Amino acid sequence: MWAIDPRYTSSAKFADAWLGLNVGTDIALANGVAREIIHSGLVHEEFIHHATTGYEEFKEHVEPWTLEFTSEITGVPSEAIADLAHGYAKAPTAQILWTLGITEHHTGVDNVLALSNLALLTGHVGRPGSGLVPLRGQNNVQGGGDMGALPNKLPGFQDVDNDEIRGKFEQAWGAKFTGEIGLNLTQMFEAMGQDKLKAVWVIGENPADSEADVKHAREMLKRLDMLVVQDVFMTRTAKMADVVFPAALGWAESEGTATSSERRVQRIRAAVPPPGQAKQEVEIISEMALRMGSTNWGQPTPEELWEELRTLSPMHAGMSWKRLEQEGGIQWPCPDEDHPGSPFLHGRLWERPVEGRRAPFSCVEHRPPVDELTDEFPIRLTTGRVLDSYNTGVQTDKFDSPIRSGDALEISSEDSLKLGVEEGETVKVSSRRGSILMRIEIDEDLQTGLAFTTFHFPELVDINQLTSDAWDSKSGTAEFKAAAIRIEKIESMANV
C-alpha cells in the first residue's frame, strides 16, 4: 500500500510507503508514473488496444515527465516514483482511492482524469479488486448526485440538455422545463454579486461557514432579497435567513433510501419522530409546491417517489422498493428486476468487442496552485478533516470527544524555529484575503513550509477567511487545499 499525501497522516503511517508530494502536484506525479510504466514495458497492451482510445497521443504527452523532472516538481524522490509505478502496474489487482485532497483544487477534475489514465494503462479497472474509488465524506453524498443534485444532470446522471431524455421527465412530471444547464455553487455566488440571483433556498448546507473566501460569501448572502434555509440545526447560514424550515434528521427520523460510496442503495427507516415543528423534507417541499399554486403535487410517500424514480432512471430500474426491503441493498446499475446489481463498474471494457464507447485517455497538464507562494506569503496552507468531526462542525460540535483536535494551526518544528514561535502560542495568520488569530501546534511529521488545519471550528477559528478563491471551472469546486499564508508573532494584543 502506498499513501500519497503532503502530510504524514495516520493512514500514511501504516502504509508500506509514503510519498509526501508538494501540494498541488498530483497531475505531475501521475504523469511521471505513467511515463515510467510505459518506458518499462508494463502497460496492458491488449486492454489498451481493445478498450481505450487516445493512447498514442497520451504516450507522447507524458514523454517529458522523466523520473528526474517529476521529482523536481513533486518533491518525491525518483526511486519512490519508480517503485510506485512498478508496484502498481505489476500488481494482480490494484485500486486508486482518493478523497477531497484530489478534488478540492482548481485542477480537481483533471486530477481525477490523471488517475484514470493510470488505471487504463494497466487494466486496473472493470474487474474485481481493481478500480478507481472516490471515497465519500458523509452518508448519502453519492445518493445526492444520483438523484440529480447537479446543475447539468437529471436523476440517474442523465443530461438535462438532451431533448429526448428531458422529454420523458416532462411527460412524467406534467410540466415543461428548460434544458439550460444550471449554475454550480461557485457560479451561484458570482450571480449573487451580479444581482442575477436574488433568492436562494439552502437545504442541508452551511455556506456561510463552508465556502472558500467566506467573508465574500457572507457578503453575497446578505445581498439576497430572500434567503430560505431548510436544516436540522440553526447554522450560521440559518441565522442569516429570512425564513427557516426545521427539517427532520434524515438518518434517524425519516423513511427513504441512502446510497453508499460503493453505489449500494439501502432503505433507511425512522427510529424516532422529528421533534417539535420539524417536518420531513418531502413534506416541506410538497407544502411549498401547494402554496406556489401546484394542483397535482400532493403528498407523495417515499415509496411512491422511489417507484417514480426507477421508471425514469435506467440504472435504478430494477430496484423495486420491495427488493430494497427484502435484499438489504442493491448496487446500481440494476436495469431490471432480474438483475442482481453491479458489484463493480466498467466490466464492459473487458468484453470483446467492447460494448459501448471505449474509455479515453486524457492529456492533462500540471498547473500549480493559483495562490502562489511568495516572500510575502511563503507558507502553503492546506486544510482537511480529522476523525471525530464533520465539515463545519454543525453535526459534531455539540458533544465532547477524547480525540478532538483541529482548531490549531499545525506547522513543522523547522518553521517554528525559523518564525520564533512555540507550541500553544497565538499568532496572526494572513492570506491575500484576510487575517485571523490562531494557536500554534507543532507537528514533528509535517514538512517544512507546509501548514495544516481543519475547517471544523468556524466559531473559534474562521479559517475560510483565508482559503483561496480559485476554483475548478469544470466542477465549480474551490481550491480549499492550497492557500498561501504568512505567520506573524504577536508581541502584544494591542499591536493586532
pLDDT (tens digit, 9 = 90+) per residue, 127-171? 999 999 998 877 888 999 999 999 999 999 999 999 999 999 999
pLDDT on residue 388: 78
Q: Please state the rounded mean pLDDT for residues 94-103.
A: 94
CATH, domain range 2-135 = 3.40.228.10
Q: Please state the rounded mean pLDDT for residues 277-283.
A: 95
pLDDT tens-digit readout, 16-44? 999 999 999 999 999 999 999 999 999 99
- The pLDDT confidence band at residue 493, using thresholds 50, 70 and 90, is very low
Q: Can you tell me the distance from the alpha carbon of 43 to that of 34, in angstroms, rounded to the nearest whole number?
A: 9
CB-based contact 189:211 (threshold 8 Å): yes
Residue ranges of the chain assigned to CATH 3.40.228.10? 2-135
User: Which residues fall within 8 angstroms of residue 216, CB to CB, at 6 or more apart?
Assistant: 189, 433, 469
Instruction: Name the fold adopted by 379-495.
Output: Barwin-like endoglucanases (2.40.40)
pLDDT on residue 492: 46
Strand segments, DSSP code E, in 319-371 are 330-331, 359-360
pLDDT on residue 401: 78
pLDDT on residue 323: 97
Whether 179 shows a pLDDT value over 80: the answer reads yes
Q: How far is the first Cα of the chain from the last one, in angstroms, to the nearest whole number?
A: 46
Whether 62 shows a pLDDT value over 70: the answer reads yes
Cell readout for 336 is: 431490471
pLDDT on residue 393: 73
The percent of residues in the chain predicted with pLDDT above 70, rounded, is 99
- Looking only at the bridges linking them, the beta strands covering 153-154 and 131-134 are unpaired
Residue ranges of the chain assigned to CATH 2.40.40.20? 379-495
Q: Can you tell me the distance from the alpha carbon of 112 to that of 199, in angstroms, rounded to the nearest whole number?
A: 33
Residue ranges of the chain assigned to CATH 3.40.50.740? 141-331
Mean pLDDT of all residues in the chain? 94
pLDDT on residue 455: 83
Please name the CATH architecture into which domain 141-331 falls. Answer: 3-Layer(aba) Sandwich (3.40)
C-alpha distances out from residue 88 to 7, 10, 42, 129, Å: 21, 22, 10, 13
